[in-house]
Amino acid sequence: DAETPLVVAGLRKTYKDGFVAVDGVDFRVERGQVVGLLGPNGAGKTTTLRTLMGLLQPTSGSLTVFGHQVTPGAPVLSRLGALVEGPGLLPHLSGVDNLRLFWRATGRPIEEAHLDEVIKIADLGERIHRKVRTYSHGMKQRVAIAQAMLGLPELLVLDEPTDGLDPPQIAEMRRVLHEYARDGRAVLVSSHLLAEVEQTCTHVVVMSRGRVVGAGEVADVIGTGTGARLEDAFL
Ligand code: ATP
């Protein structure tokens, strides 16, 4: 329906060589949630995110963003902000100039108040005026995420945003993602590390070998009792 950020229904993706990377996946992302798509390497997370971005054509099934079905090549939905590739920031420019440059490329006018709001949500502070080459990995990661947040899309999709971050940076990322999901927005992130999802997300969808093997609130799915099922997923 038009109010739900994401509904994935019966999604399948078979690659040209016949390999079934995503094998009938169903899950939803609701407003206010920070959802972690969790699974070991090869589980099918990136394939799922790439079909969501319209970069890959699903073999069957559908992805529906606020009631609009995603189709490859269709104009990217303005309500969806995505960061799939790693940070592509220009090191000799400041963080804020990188944001301006990125935004200009979308052809939309730059409003300083809007830029300030995104800088505040992403908790970039005064450091945003220093050159990117002086930033820590965590700061670079948050500037790249701020790029995806420009325009305040109601569904923000990030591939492995916590990859390579240390515990304080992960705690920072949690604050940023939770702040973003307030006011009815939603976030979908992938990760191959259970601890990262546990520390940053409200909900989790566990994938293994192209299928969903568990989903729900982080405390229920990752908490005690379901350990055996999760271990299965990670074998
Ligand atoms: P990772 O964390 O390593 O990215 P993932 O969960 O995101 O893992 P995918 O990248 O979606 O998993 O890959 C799922 C499976 O599909 C893997 O076994 C991969 O080898 C395979 N695969 C990915 N792209 C292709 C392709 N273009 N052709 C054939 N097989 C592919």
Structure confidence by residue, pLDDT tens digits, 31-52: 999 999 999 999 999 999 999 9
Q: Give mean pLDDT, residues 23-27.
A: 97
CA 158 – CA 197 distance, rounded (Å): 13
- The two counts, helices (H) then strands (E), for the chain are 8, 10
Q: Which range has highest mean pLDDT (21-25, 80-84, 169-173)?
A: 21-25
The Cα-based distances of 191 to 4, 16, 79, 81, 201 in angstroms read 23, 25, 23, 18, 11
Model confidence at 223: pLDDT above 80: no
Please state, in angstroms and as integers, the Cα–Cα distance from residue 120 to each residue in 41, 44, 56, 126, following that order: 33, 33, 33, 10
- Hey, whose CA ends up nearest to atom 26 of ligand 1? 15
For residues 155 and 84, the model is more confident at 155
Task: Give me the pLDDT at residue 138, please.
Answer: 86
Under DSSP, is residue 141 helix (H, G, I), strand (E, B) or coil?
Answer: helix
**Residue 13 CB–ligand 1 contact under 6 Å:** no
Tokens of 44: 């099918």
Rg of the chain, C-alpha, whole Å: 17
**Pocket probe mutation, ligand 1, options 14, 17, 19, max atoms within 8 Å of Cβ:** 19
Question: Whose C-alpha lies nearest to ligand 1, atom 29?
Answer: 15
pLDDT at 105: 79
Q: What is the pTM for the complete model shown?
A: 0.90
CA dihedral 129, 135, 136, 142 (to 10 degrees): 50
d(CA 13, CA 19): 8
39 lines ligand 1 (CB under 6 A): yes
Centre of ligand 1 to C-alpha 57, Å, is 15
pLDDT at 230: 61
d(CA 103, CA 92): 18
- pLDDT per residue as tens digits for the range 157-196: 998 988 888 899 899 899 999 999 998 999 999 999 999 9
What are the angstrom distances between the C-alpha of 131 and each of 92, 99, 191, 219? 6, 12, 29, 39
Whether the complex's predicted ipTM is more than 0.90 is answered with yes
